Amino acid sequence: MPLRLERQENVPAIGLVAAPLVALVFTLVVGAVMFAALGQDPLRAFSVYFIEPLLDPYTQQELVVKACPLMLIGVGLAFCYRANRWNIGAEGQYVAGAVVGSWLALATHGTDAGPWVLPAMLALGFVGGALWGLIPAFLRVRFGSSEILTSLMLVYVAQLGLDYLVRGPWKDPQGFNFPQSVTFDDNAIMPLLSDEGRLHAGIIIAVVVVIAATFVLGRTLIGFSIELGGSAPRAAAFAGFDERRVTYGVFAVSGGLAGLAGIIEVAGPIGNLQPSISPGYGFTAIIAAMLGRLHPVGILVASLVLALTYIGGEAAQITMRMPFDVTRVFQGTLLIAILAADVLVRYRIRRVEGTSHA
Amino acid sequence: MLDAAIIGAVLASIVAAATTLLLASIGELVAERAGTLNLGVEGMMIVGAAVGYAAAYGSGSLILGTIAAMLAGTLLSLVFAGLAIWLAANQVASGLATTILGLGLAGLIGSPFVGTTLTAAPALHIPVLSDLPIVGPVLFGQDAFAYASIALLAIVAYGLARTRAGLVLRAVGESHVAAHALGHPVRRIRTLAVMFGGACAGLAGAQLSLAYTPFWASDMTAGRGWIALALVVFSAWRPLWLLGGAYLFGAVSILQLHVQGFGLGIPSQLLSSLPYLATIAALVVISALKRGQGAPASLGVPFVPDR
């Protein structure tokens, strides 16, 4: 049956909102099949996975705690992806930021330094992530190397670097030989927002970043040059926008925000440096960016949805003994569904008269 | 101190490490020559490793396991093909989605097998030849995967350069509009190329979990799929260069392990990161030298027929 895709010039606004919802529904259907295949009652699994975490006040807070890094990283990635620069190494920039920021926490440990420590750590975290992100940007600008592969390779390098530090020079001498640093002092810990739970001030930073990014991307010349450089590079060049500056800029922003997410996580819910400080936030944030249609507010919502898959996955692991990989399958399916739904919004499927080949 | 047997064993393990990379990168090279950049290699490889292990463990047959792994890789590649080729979605994002899904699926499939082991695929013994010192075990004492990778490379190199099908495939990758105008079914050809890539990645996964390290671990590919992608760039899309690249990276990844064993005071994490750093260095060198020459002109560009 000859079908063909036809590009639509005016995408109806309703489609832009409907597509992610359609993708969510599709993911849930796939999820039901998967639960059945695992020998679980799909309704009970859905309840454990997606409903119960929303009802309990503790997990409600956890939801926001987990969404915080996704939001920060995802908003940064939106800068890159809008500019058609493919930074897929946010996980490494997250680690780099956590390491550089933690350096200050460890250097001032036990010295009774003032309240400036935490803000300085956050700034260092941003700088660390930005520098790590600028490596693939530099290699792309200077040598034309694919930023996709170099940024991804640097994830492994960053993780191994962190592993070295917490097993070697930064290991807590009184830590019974566990591979982790000392627990940070109080002036190096994110303040909590409530007496119960782990909700910390990082979420305020994330929301401020979302608002700022919405303004920069939507209302400024910088945002316009990023967008234009991504969708029409030749036009951008004629307009006088420097392609190299855009590359450096978007990698610095996305690396920096990923680094900020890293140091917030370490100074917040974790409390010290450990060999593993992320359940794949840097990769999940890619999905958050896509699901949120590269719009900061959309990414905020998408981050909450993806955080739910983390929380639900943990709950299902404990109460139903389901492997945590269920969460990865959900996340992968969600990304596939959103990509497909996007196409169905941008294009119309037409049946073609007569013979035609693909 | 270093006798022939040890050198032989080290060289043999380099062959095993290189075979994984070679198998996966041959498939990706074909997909890319047809114009599709499939970043799902890592996902297809780990699904191949998991399914291959599960099938071999259940059936007791390494051959069935290998076939199942190739089928699984092919099936997952169809997810990518559906998105990137038939729905013209962004190829980078589609490939990433394939990898994320593959990692999850493989974890699910493999979870009952954590902690089990298999008997590794046997080395094929060729009388007289494989008893030669050093050269013997390296050249003639490998398992079937190593020979298959060389044979596959030869077939692909010949097929791309010298057959009509290879010419059409390259035409589709260079200019899909022109190929379309000549009446070639662009999307069907690309789908087949991507499926071939999936089968090869699945085979590489099977080599990993059935021969190289005959057990299941959820992170056993450890970025090898990504290194295979980099190798394709490194080869400047020429099959025979893959051979050199794969063996170079195989050597780096094995030799760093042996240096770790000597304990020279170099942090093991620095040595472990060498394959990744070498990949970056190789990408930089090749792009500095060639500035993207050799890449198929339509690589990564989705094709939507207008007529």
How confident is the model at residue B271, as a pLDDT? 86
Rounded CA-CA distance A335/A123 in Å is 32
pTM: 0.90
Contact B284/A at CB under 8 A: yes
pLDDT at A356 over 50: no
**In this structure, which topology does domain A59-316 adopt according to CATH?**
ABC transporter involved in vitamin B12 uptake, BtuC (1.10.3470)
Look at A332 and B97 and tell me if their CB atoms are within 8 Å: yes
Give B82's DSSP letter. Answer: I
Q: Please check whether residue A143 is in contact with residue A260, taking contact to mean a CB–CB distance below 8 angstroms.
A: no
Strands A3-7 and A347-351 come out as antiparallel
**Rounded to 10 degrees, what is the CA torsion of B101, B107, B112, B114?**
160
> What value of ipTM does the predicted structure carry?
0.88
pLDDT at A2 over 60: no
Closest partner residue to A335 among B97, B277, B305, by Cβ? Answer: B97
Question: Between residues 175 and 234 of chain B, which touch chain A (CB distance below 8 Å)?
Answer: 183, 185-188, 218, 222-223, 226, 229-230, 233
Rounded CA-CA distance A124/B189 in Å is 50
How confident is the model at residue B265, as a pLDDT? 75
Spatial CA neighbour of B198 closest among B54, B8, B41, B59: B41
3-state secondary structure of A192: strand
Rounded CA-CA distance A275/A272 in Å is 10
Q: Please check whether residue A46 is in contact with residue A31, taking contact to mean a CB–CB distance below 8 angstroms.
A: yes
Rounded CA-CA distance A113/A120 in Å is 12
Q: Please check whether residue A105 is in contact with residue A185, taking contact to mean a CB–CB distance below 8 angstroms.
A: yes
Per-domain residue ranges of chain B: 8-120+127-290
Question: Between residues 135 and 164 of chain B, which touch chain A (CB distance below 8 Å)?
Answer: none
Q: Which residue has the higher pLDDT, B24 or A358?
A: B24
Q: Which residues pair with A4 in a beta bridge?
A: A350
Contact B300/A at CB under 8 A: no
Contact B291/A at CB under 8 A: yes
Q: Which amino acid is at B109?
A: I
Look at B226 and A152 and tell me if their CB atoms are within 8 Å: yes
A71–chain B nearest CA distance, Å? 19
Which tokens hold the place of A118?
A: 């935490």
CA distance from start to end of chain B: 70
Closest partner residue to A144 among B104, B108, B292, by Cβ? Answer: B292
Spell out the residues 6+ positions from residue B226 whose beta carbon is closer than 8 angstroms to its own.
A149, A152, A153, B41, B42, B279
Suggest the residue from A325, A333, A338, A346 to mutate for an interface test with chain B (most B CBs closer than 10 A). A325
How confident is the model at residue B197, as a pLDDT? 95
Q: Please check whether residue B205 is in contact with residue B214, taking contact to mean a CB–CB distance below 8 angstroms.
A: no
Question: Between residues 102 and 121 of chain B, which touch chain A (CB distance below 8 Å)?
Answer: 102-108, 111
**In this structure, which topology does domain B8-120+127-290 adopt according to CATH?**
ABC transporter involved in vitamin B12 uptake, BtuC (1.10.3470)
Rounded CA-CA distance B119/B122 in Å is 8
Chain B partners within 8 Å of A286 (Cβ)? 93, 96
Q: What letters, b where the CB count within 10 A reaches 16 and e where it falls short, cover B37-73?
A: bbbbbbbbbbbbbbbbbbbbbeeeebeebbbbbbbbb
Rounded CA-CA distance B184/B187 in Å is 9
Q: Which residues pair with A350 in a beta bridge?
A: A4
Rounded CA-CA distance A175/A177 in Å is 5
Residue position matching structure tokens 């006088």: A240
Chain A partners within 8 Å of B93 (Cβ)? 286, 290, 335, 339
Suggest the residue from A143, A152, A343 to mutate for an interface test with chain B (most B CBs closer than 10 A). A152
3-state secondary structure of B119: coil
Read off the pLDDT of residues A189-247 as tens digits, 9 standing for 90 and up.
Answer: 898 888 777 889 999 999 999 999 999 998 888 888 888 888 888 888 888 888 899 99
pLDDT at A45 over 60: yes
Mean pLDDT across chain A, nearest whole number?
88
Look at B108 and A144 and tell me if their CB atoms are within 8 Å: no
Residue in A closest to B222 by C-alpha: A156
How confident is the model at residue A119, as a pLDDT? 94
Read off the pLDDT of residues A332-348 as tens digits, 9 standing for 90 and up.
Answer: 999 999 888 887 777 76
3-state secondary structure of A180: coil
Rounded CA-CA distance A283/A290 in Å is 11
Look at B89 and A342 and tell me if their CB atoms are within 8 Å: yes
How confident is the model at residue B303, as a pLDDT? 81
3-state secondary structure of A348: strand
Which tokens hold the place of B46?
A: 């780990």
Read off the pLDDT of residues A129-161 as tens digits, 9 standing for 90 and up.
Answer: 999 999 999 999 999 888 999 999 999 999 999
Chain A partners within 8 Å of B108 (Cβ)? 34, 38, 323, 325-326, 329
Give A188's DSSP letter. Answer: G
Question: Does residue A4 come out as left (phi exceeding 0), alpha (psi in the -120 to 50 range) or beta?
Answer: beta
Chain A partners within 8 Å of B273 (Cβ)? 156-157, 160-161
Look at B102 and A4 and tell me if their CB atoms are within 8 Å: no
The vertex-B280 CA angle with B70 and A257, nearest 5°, equals 100
Rounded CA-CA distance A148/A290 in Å is 16
Suggest the residue from A3, A26, A149, A347 to mutate for an interface test with chain B (most B CBs closer than 10 A). A149
Q: List chain B residues with pLDDT less than 50.
A: 1
Burial of A156 (C-beta count, 10 Å sphere; 0-12/13-18/19+): buried
Read off the pLDDT of residues A234-284 as tens digits, 9 standing for 90 and up.
Answer: 888 888 888 899 999 999 999 999 999 999 999 999 989 999 999 889 999
Question: Between residues 81 and 140 of chain A, which touch chain B (CB distance below 8 Å)?
Answer: 86, 88, 139
What is the pLDDT confidence band of residue A355, given thresholds at 50, 70 and 90? very low
**φ, ψ dihedrals at A349, nearest 5°:** -95, 125
The string of DSSP codes covering A39-89 is T--HHHHHIIIIIHHHHSHHHHHHHHHHHHHHHHHHHHHHHHHHTT-----
3-state secondary structure of A200: strand
What is the pLDDT confidence band of residue A18, given thresholds at 50, 70 and 90? confident
Question: Between residues 256 and 275 of chain A, which touch chain B (CB distance below 8 Å)?
Answer: none
Look at A152 and B107 and tell me if their CB atoms are within 8 Å: no
**What are the distances in angstroms from CA A210 to CA A72, A84, A296, A348, B132?**
8, 20, 5, 32, 67
Contact A286/B at CB under 8 A: yes
Mean pLDDT, rounded, for A301-324: 88
How confident is the model at residue A351, as a pLDDT? 63
Closest partner residue to B103 among A145, A286, A328, by Cβ? Answer: A328
Look at A4 and B305 and tell me if their CB atoms are within 8 Å: yes
Residue in B closest to A158 by C-alpha: B273
How many residue contacts between A and B have a Cβ separation below 8 Å?
Answer: 152
Per-domain residue ranges of chain A: 1-40+322-358, 59-316
Contact B9/A at CB under 8 A: no
Chain A partners within 8 Å of B288 (Cβ)? 143-144
How confident is the model at residue A352, as a pLDDT? 59
**What are the distances in angstroms from CA B153 to CA A180, B13, B21, B282?**
46, 20, 12, 21
pLDDT at A358 over 50: no
Q: How many C-beta atoms lie closer than 10 Å to residue B297's C-beta?
A: 10
B89–chain A nearest CA distance, Å? 6
Look at A149 and B233 and tell me if their CB atoms are within 8 Å: yes
How confident is the model at residue A1, as a pLDDT? 42
Q: Which amino acid is at A33?
A: V
Look at A339 and B101 and tell me if their CB atoms are within 8 Å: no
Question: Does residue B172 come out as left (phi exceeding 0), alpha (psi in the -120 to 50 range) or beta?
Answer: alpha
Chain B partners within 8 Å of A149 (Cβ)? 226, 229-230, 233, 279-280, 283
